[in-house]
Each structure stands twice: as structure tokens, then as C-alpha cells.
Amino acid sequence: MLVTLVHIHVKPEMVDAFIEATKDNAKNSRLEPGIARFDFIQQADDPTRFVLIEVFRDEDAPAKHRETEHYLRWKDIATDMMAEPRVGVKHVNISPDDSGWG
């Protein structure tokens, strides 16, 4: 599994709209065969900060994800809502082992 944590800082006046747009992207991303998990979380002490937790089944899945209609729609809408460019940090899965992701 490939795990990417995407850190996003949103303009304060755009938080509600960003949440709605990202919930749509997350819901549709979970339907992709190459995605084992796609979580969307908000920082408790700063509601303008979010993290996407993306767990991909193989090395081709991230590129396929970035070609989907829902991702392209989200990127087009959400980019202008961000206070700064998003930062994706790639991780290697340790535990649970890959079979534990379902």
C-alpha cells in the first residue's frame, strides 16, 4: 500500500464550501478500485486545516485517481479555496500489513 497524507490550509471564509467539495471527492474516491481508504479530517484546534489520508493499493492508483472526473472537479474548485498550496507527504505502510486494509 502507498499512503499519502495531504495537508491543506483553507481560507477561513471558504471552510464550509471546501468541506462540501471535499466530501464529494472523498465519497467518489472511495469507489475507485485502486483506493483502499480515503479519509478526510479537520484539525481540532484550527478548523482551517485539513488532512486527506489516501491509501492506494498499487503504484498506478495515484495517477489513475488524478485522472478521474471527481478529482479534476475537486482540484478545479478547491485550489482557489486554499490559503497556500497543499502538501502531500508519501508514507510507507508498516502496520496493519497490506492485507489489513481490506
CA neighbor of 62 nearest in space, from 24, 88, 87, 27:
88
Summarize pLDDT for 13-34 with one digit per residue, the tens: 999 999 999 999 999 999 999 9
Residue 92 CA neighbour count, 13 Å, CB half: 1
Mean of pLDDT over the chain: 96
Which CATH number does 2-89 carry?
A: 3.30.70.100
For residue 96, whether the previous peptide bond is cis, meaning omega lies within 30 degrees of 0, is: yes
* Whole-structure pTM value: 0.93
